[in-house]
């Protein structure tokens, strides 16, 4: 059963993660995400992407109970899957905007760092990277993404304390770019993605901006 729905909103492709109740991710979902992001990267018909979550969560990342029960082989497969999913998100040549509609925890925070712009809805939910508390150390590609795109002070604070922040407070960390009314979240995120894509030099500038990070990611996956 697919865990991602894809629909066209004008010139923007809306991708929705749907794995109730919390949109948690596991290896199969991450492999599905990789395949879909690679397909969209190769498609001349995909001009810009908005990523969001179904229901009340963006994604709460890996389910801790599921992760704790994995065999060593399954853990290795999960690490491989998350490395490739984040790499494929990070390599997208077109604009990627995250529309954060609720809890964005662990993998959710890394997905936000892979984005070119992050719009978060107002609300009583949390954003952060609590891998230390969950007992789930960062895989190599997520760690590289954190190193490249998160301010060193906030990298230390978020990674070592497992602190979770509300959407407005998360702006200071760089995880969120703007906070909007919940009922306008998708409309504004789609508008932002369309605005980014309308710039004739966007893809070239994005390629330049991400060149060092992508080279490091390629080396880690080699």
Question: pLDDT tens across 99-134, in order?
Answer: 999 999 999 999 999 999 999 999 999 999 999 998
Strands 127-128 and 164-165: antiparallel
CB atoms inside a 10 Å sphere around CB 143: 18
Q: What dihedral do alpha carbons 120, 210, 130, 25 form, nearest 10°? A: 80
> Which distant-in-sequence residues (6+ apart) come within 8 Å of 204 by Cβ?
none
Q: What is the CA radius of gyration of the chain?
A: 16
Please tell me the predicted confidence (pLDDT) of residue 64: 77
Q: Where residue 66 falls among pLDDT bands split at 50, 70, 90?
A: confident
Question: pLDDT tens across 166-221, in order?
Answer: 999 999 999 999 999 999 999 999 999 999 999 999 999 999 999 999 999 999 99
Q: Look up residue 222 and give its two tokens.
A: 């080699």
The CATH H-level superfamily of 4-221 is 2-enoyl-CoA Hydratase; Chain A, domain 1 (3.90.226.10)
């Amino acid at each position: 059963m697919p865990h991602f729905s894809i629909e066209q909103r004008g010139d923007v492709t809306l991708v929705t993660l749907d794995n109730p109740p919390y949109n948690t991710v596991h290896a199969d979902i991450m492999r599905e995400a990789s395949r879909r992001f690679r397909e969209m990267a190769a498609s001349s018909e995909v001009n810009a992407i908005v990523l969001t979550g179904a229901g009340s969560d963006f994604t709460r990342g890996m389910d801790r109970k599921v992760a704790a029960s994995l065999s060593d082989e399954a853990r290795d497969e999960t690490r491989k899957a998350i490395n490739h999913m984040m790499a494929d998100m990070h390599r997208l040549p077109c604009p990627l905007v995250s529309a954060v509609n609720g809890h964005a925890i662990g993998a959710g925070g890394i997905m936000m760092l892979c984005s070119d712009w992050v719009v978060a809805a107002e609300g009583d939910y949390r954003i952060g990277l609590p891998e230390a508390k969950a007992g789930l150390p960062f895989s190599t590609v997520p760690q590289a993404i954190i190193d490249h795109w998160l301010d060193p002070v906030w990298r230390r604070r978020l990674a070592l304390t497992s602190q979770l922040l509300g959407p407005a407070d998360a702006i200071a960390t760089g995880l969120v770019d703007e906070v909007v009314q919940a009922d306008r979240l998708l409309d504004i995120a789609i508008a932002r993605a369309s605005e980014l894509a309308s710039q004739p030099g966007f893809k070239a500038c994005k390629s330049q901006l991400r060149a060092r990070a992508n080279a490091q990611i390629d080396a880690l996956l080699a």
